[in-house]
Amino acid sequence: MTETFEKAASQKYILKDKFNQIRSFSEYLAKPLEVEDYVIQSMPDVSPTKWHLAHTSWFFETFVLESVKKNYKSPFPVYNYLFNSYYVQVGERWTRNRRGLLSRPTVKDVYQYRRYIDEQMNEFFETADENLLKKMKVVLEIGFNHEQQHQELMLTDLKHVFSINPMYPVYVEKEIKFNTDIAEMKWTEFNEELYTAGYDGEDFFYDNEKPVHKTYLNGFKIANRLVTNKEYIEFIEDGGYQNTPLWLSDGFAAVESENWKAPLYWEKVEGEWFNFTLNGFRKVNPAEPVVHVSFYEAEAFAHWSVARLATEFEWERASQNLENVGNFVEQNNFHPVPLHETNGKLSQMFGDVWEWTRSDYAPYPGYKVPEGAIGEYNGKFMSGQTVLRGGSCATSESHIRNTYRNFFYPNQRWQFMGIRLAKDLI
């Protein structure tokens, strides 16, 4: 065997293994569910689990199988309509907020669909030649990352579905030992510089992390750890939710219209704060990072703390030389965990909670939307949303990097979203 051939063969098996590993991880996450749990859409932002399982299959069918298999005809043509999400160039879609109104296809049907797609994909990996693999590599990698994103959504959506049920179903039982020690909040300083932002490596990246470009950073300092429930409770008890001048105007409007009094999933029971977690309904642990707050709440909290949020480039600079380790989905915590000690080091930058930045989600200088339906992945969302960085306890470790830009509307709270403080350096 020549070296090139070996490399190509190994590349093929790397892709195939990655595909099968990611596909089975989706099903692993759905293991604890009853059939009925797959069906519910508890709010428009939430999709039923069976939708996620089908939609990720539809992605490979549409962007890989239909492209590589001559005369490929889906055996389930209506699925193209039901499980397309927002790719307008790929045809009409079943309206997002009606995803929970479908009893059919059943969960069993959806697993059969997955089986079918998996077989077809494996056949493709086996038979594809080097050129075809090379050509398809980007879309395959998008497919892998896309399914990982939906794995995260499966967890956060299911959490919402369970949370509104007065029977408080438990996703995974877990004993929690309370240790209320909290690492002291310290600050890491960065001097002003002309920073080069954006992804500059050889591996997979999303188009929104490019082009690499220069951006000027004033000096800043950033907290060594996330904001905890203990600190957030102080904010609440100090009347934070009633103190209008702490809030952005749109933020206070949301407080009033949504009647926010605490993070999502918090409830006061006989004078004490409880929160609903994927491990059940339990007392709020003061040492855990606060989670399920909106950008508006993060901003108001920072204002109250006489601090601010970091911009996305400050965050990127600060994490530039850190190892990508943390409390990810692989840890099976499905919830942020306390940090009892930092040793002065910048901690919790990866995993635990997505960190709201003070940056609107906008194109980098020179950004061009890619051609075709895949181009609808990122660019068209570049208005009205806010950047979050760092991944969460529901993110796959292999999915994240320090240039990764997540984005949500500033009023959304159902993702694992939290707060890290920053300040000007003066």
- Complex with a second copy: residue 63 or 162, whichever CB lies closer: 162
**Taking the CA of residue 88 as centre, how many other CA atoms within 13 Å lie in the half-sphere pointing to its CB?**
2
Site for a second copy contains 96 (CB under 8 A)? no
Only one of the segments 19-27, 132-140, 338-346, 361-369 lies at the binding site for a second copy (rule: CB under 8 A); that segment is 361-369
- Minimum separation from the CB atom of position 236 to a second copy (A): 20
Q: Which of 335, 349, 263, 270 is nearest to 300 (CA)?
A: 263
Task: Kindly tell me which of 21 and 165 has the beta carbon lying closer to a second copy.
Answer: 165
Interacting residue with a second copy among 295, 315, 354, 416 (CB under 8 A): 295
For a second copy, the binding residues in 303-342 under the rule CB under 8 A are none
| CA–CA distance, 192 with 9 (Å, rounded to integer) | 47
* For a second copy, the closer CB: 16 or 303: 303
- Report the nearest approach of a second copy to the CB of residue 381 (Å): 5
d(CA 93, CA 102): 14
Angle (CA) 88-92-96 rounded to 5° is: 85
Q: Which structure tokens are listed for 98?
A: 């009606």
DSSP state of 290: P
Q: Can you read off the two tokens belonging to residue 271? A: 């004078």
CB 329 within 8 A of CB 268: no
Distance between the two ends of the chain, CA-based, in angstroms? 62
For residues 85 and 275, which CB has a smaller minimum distance to a second copy in the complex? 85
Q: Which residue has the tokens 């997505």?
A: 354
Residue 387 DSSP SS3: strand
Q: Is 194 in the site for a second copy (CB under 8 A)?
A: yes
Residue 138 binding a second copy, by CB under 8 A? no
| Residue ranges with strand state E in 19-176 | none
Q: Indicate which single residue of 19, 38, 235, 328 sits in contact with a second copy (rule: CB under 8 A).
A: 38
Tokens of 46: 């939430």
Q: Closest by alpha carbon to 385, among 350, 349, 360?
A: 360
Q: Interface with a second copy includes 259 (CB under 8 A)?
A: no
**Candidate ranges 101-109, 123-131, 259-267, 388-396; the one touching a second copy (CB under 8 A):** 101-109
> Which range of residues in 21-29, 112-120, 225-233, 376-384 is near a second copy by CB under 8 A?
376-384
| Binding residues for a second copy, total number by CB under 8 A | 64
Residue choice 143, 240, 251, 390 for contact with a second copy (CB under 8 A): 251
Q: Which of 61, 157, 231, 299 binds a second copy (CB under 8 A)?
A: 299
Nearer to a second copy, 103 or 257 (CB): 103
Q: Which residues pair with 101 in a beta bridge?
A: none
User: Between residues 17 and 424, which has the closer beta carbon with respect to a second copy?
Assistant: 424
Cβ of residue 33: shortest distance to a second copy, in angstroms? 8
Q: Cα 153 from chain centroid?
A: 7
With beta carbons less than 8 A apart as the criterion, state whether 410 and 296 touch.
yes
Residue 280 interacting with a second copy (CB under 8 A)? no
Crossing angle of helices 295-304 and 249-258, in 10° steps, is: 120
- Find the binder of a second copy among 104, 175, 184, 203 (CB under 8 A): 104
Helix axes 107-127, 3-30, angle to 10 degrees: 170
DSSP for 238-256 reads: TTGGG-GGGS-HHHHHHHH
Q: Please report whether residue 405 would count as binding a second copy according to CB under 8 A.
A: no
Residue 267 sits in the site that holds a second copy (CB under 8 A) = no
- Distance in Å, CB of 248 to a second copy, minimum: 5
Single out the segment in contact with a second copy by CB under 8 A; choices: 37-45, 55-63, 115-123, 177-185: 37-45
Provide the phi-psi class of 352: left if phi over 0, else alpha when psi is between -120 and 50, else beta: left
Q: Regarding beta strands 417-418 and 354-360, do their DSSP bridges make them parallel or antiparallel, or are they unpaired?
A: parallel
User: Which listed range, 126-134, 175-183, 272-280, 360-368, lies at the site for a second copy (CB under 8 A)?
Assistant: 360-368
Check residue 258 for interaction with a second copy (CB under 8 A): no
Which positions touch a second copy (CB under 8 A)?
34-40, 42, 78, 81-82, 86, 88-89, 94, 98, 100-107, 161-162, 164-167, 169, 194, 213-216, 218, 244-245, 247-251, 295-296, 299, 358-360, 362-363, 365-366, 375-376, 380-384, 386, 410, 424
